[in-house]
Structure 1
Amino acid sequence: MKKYFFLGLMGSAVFFNSCSDTVENEIITDPVQQRTLLSKITTVYYDNPASPQTTVSTLEYNSQGQLIKTLSEGRSSINEYDSSGKPVKTNYYKTDGTLEYYALYTYNNDQLQNVKAIYSDTNLNRTINYTYSNGKVATSTLCQTANCSNPSISSYTYNGDNITVETSELGGTITFFTKNEYLYDNQLNPYTFTNKYFRIMMGGAYALSKNNYTSEKISFKDSAGNWVPNQNVVYEIQYNSAQLPTQVIGKSLSGANYVKYNYEYITQ
């Protein structure tokens, strides 16, 4: 499972919102309407098996089910919305409580066009732009310079509502290409009821797909332009009564741990 970072997001902290006016962003239980909201994510990375790294993110909501605040490793973010419920600004704060940067969201009708990160040092400013095909995100392009030289680009291929192939071009002095291929279960993923604009901003197959991927094949492109298999990961998933994952454990084919996610939810 990819370890998503965007515009300097705090560790595994991602930005969620469950809007109160659309079925897309709610789980409804009779006879009382309730929202099921993701409230805590605990992630364990096994890049160094002898010393796994754990991050914990907590999410706070207002009475409308909108994500207001995210906390992770002492850092925080606070979201602002327009009258229609679209996120328009996110402020990111350092561990000492001072503002590190803020992000502004731009839309074309109901499509998120870009998100811009604004720093006091303008050399750090960056923008991510999105294109769409049949209403789904087709590409995301991260620009770290004003003229968008050497951008990083992610492209997505879908089968129905799931991304089956994700190709990434990491821009820079040396361009690096990776390809991730996925197989899925038929259950809801943790971000099913997350505001769609935050899912787009998060990017990647896990946030943008409908279901949970159960296997991941990772390849890189060599100097001759050939895709070379690098790693295969299999995911074991446990679900709650709402068919949402509560734990996801990724392991290599040899059985070595790769990553583990624990998800906690609240109803409102």
Structure 2
Amino acid sequence: MKKYFFLGLVSSVVFLNSCNSTDENEMIIDPIAEPKILLSKVTTVYYDNPSNPETTVSTLQYNNQGQLIKTTTAGRNSTNEYDSSGKPVKTNYYKTDGTLEYYSLYTYSGDQLQNVKAIYSNPDFNRTINYTYNNGKVATSTLCQTADCSNPSVSNYTYNGDNITLETSEMGGTIPISTKHEYLYDNQLNPFTFTNKYFRIMMGGAHALSKNNYASERISFKDNAGNWVQNQQVIYDIQYNSAQLPSQVIGKDTNGNNYVKYNYEYIAQ
């Protein structure tokens, strides 16, 4: 159930529109506005075990250009390096003791992020995420954990306008696991509106890649006969701040049980 949006920036490589353009091919482009409202802290409460919820806190630091330079989650830090055009080129991931655990390198084709490679001192741990696009939007992300990319994990995205309405994922392995998420949205900008578009691609999923906030989510799995079986539906109650960005999101299942809770804090720059 857990969706580690910022752990993708600090511990493992998993996983908008321009305000002056209406071209839907430019969905994952940093909006132009002054001041930018930058996400500075995300507190997530997971209710996998309702009697003992798990809380994760991520903090984000920026330089004067609004570039994300450091992320901290559960005592683990990541730092980002950029080229002269503002594209991320390297992210360093550190253990809780401050020593380097691994780093990631970003490869581009023009303005499109093609892949992110995680490099460890032990090459057996290396992995790569490859991306494909359709009309400028991320269509698939493929996680390869071996050099020959045997048994990859693949996510596919289907859009309605600027929002992902259907996300299917198949985890590679001896016994593949297939899941499907179907989303409905509000009409407000999501918390990652001003997050670097390439980090949003790397984080992946409807939460980071879509323009708006999903208000409901249906979750299904594929049974042994190859049929999709819905096993969960989550409804999200979204509260907004004065900038009309989410300040708190609470997800509950159809029985009213807590599923997940997000609290978002921002800084203006």
User: Normalising by the residue count of structure 2, what TM-score does the alignment of the two structures yield?
Assistant: 0.91
Change (3 A) 1:235 1:11: farther
Distance 2:6 2:263 in 1: 21
Q: What secondary structure, in the 3-state scheme, does the structure 1 residue paired with 2:238 have? A: strand
Question: Given residue 266 of structure 1, which amino acid in structure 2 is its aligned partner?
Answer: I
Is the 1:27–1:36 contact (alpha carbons within 8 Å) kept by the matching residues of 2? no
Match of 1:55 in 2: 56
Provide Cα deviations, 1:202-250, integer angstroms capped at 9, x if missing partner: 0001101111000000000001010001100000000011110000000
The 3 A distance-change label for structure 1 pair 115 and 6 is farther
Runs of 5+ unmatched residues, structure 1? 16-23
Equivalent residue number for residue 246 of structure 1: 247
2:2 and 2:139 map into 1 onto residues whose CA distance is: 18
Q: Which residue of 2 aligns with 1:89?
A: 90
Structure 1 residues 53 and 6, CA gap change in structure 2 (3 angstroms)? closer
**CA RMSD of superposed structures (Å):** 2.1
For 1:257 and 1:221, the matched residues in 2 are separated by 24
Residue 7 of structure 1 contacts residue 126 of structure 1 at CA under 8 Å; is this kept in 2? no
TM-score by length of 1: 0.91
| Equivalent position SS for 1:198 | helix
Deviation at 1:8?
6.0
Q: Structure 1 pair 7/61, CA: closer, same or farther in 2 (3 Å)?
A: closer
User: Which residue number corresponds to residue 227 of structure 2?
Assistant: 226
* Shift of residue 25, structure 1, vs aligned partner: 3.0
In the alignment, which residue of structure 2 is the partner of 1:4?
A: 4
The match for 1:115 is 116
Flag the 1:35–1:201 CA change in 2: closer, same or farther, 3 A: same
Residues 94-243 of structure 1: pairs in structure 2 closer than 5 A: 94-243=95-244
Amino acid at match of 1:47: D
Describe the shift of the 1:167–1:62 C-alpha distance in structure 2 as closer, same or farther (beyond 3 A): same
Distance 2:11 2:99 in 1: 18
2:200 partner SS: helix
User: How many residue pairs are counted as aligned between the two chains?
Assistant: 257
Unaligned 5+ residue runs, structure 2?
16-28
Could you report, residue by residue, the CA deviation over 1:42-88 in whole angstroms, capped at 9, with x for unpaired residues? 00000000000001111111111111111111100000000000000
Aligned equivalents of 1:5 and 1:121: distance in 2? 26
- How far residue 111 of structure 1 moved from its aligned partner, in angstroms, is 0.2
Task: Note the C-alpha offset of 1:254.
Answer: 0.2
SS of match in other structure, 2:252: strand
Deviation of the 1:5 alpha carbon: 6.0
- Where does residue 256 of structure 2 map in the other structure? 255
Distance 1:6 1:173 in 2: 28
Partner of 1:21: none
Q: What's the offset of the Cα at 1:27?
A: 6.3
Query: 2:69: which partner in 1?
Result: 68
Contact 2:7 2:73 in 1 (8 A): no
Relative to structure 1, is the Cα distance of residues 184 and 237 closer, same or farther in structure 2, using a 3 angstrom cutoff? same
Deviating beyond 2 angstroms after TM superposition, the runs of 4 or more aligned structure 1 residues are 4-15, 24-28
* 8 Å Cα contact 2:6-2:58 kept in structure 1: no
Q: CA deviation at 1:13?
A: 11
Q: Which residue does 2:45 correspond to in 1? A: 44
Which residue in the other structure is 1:20 paired with? none
Name the SS for the 1:251 alignment partner: strand
**Structure 1 residues 14 and 167: alpha-carbon distance in aligned structure 2, compared to 1, 3 A threshold:** closer
Counterpart of 1:25 in 2: which secondary structure? coil
8 Å contact kept, 2:8–2:14: no
Over the matched positions of the two proteins, sequence identity in percent amounts to 79
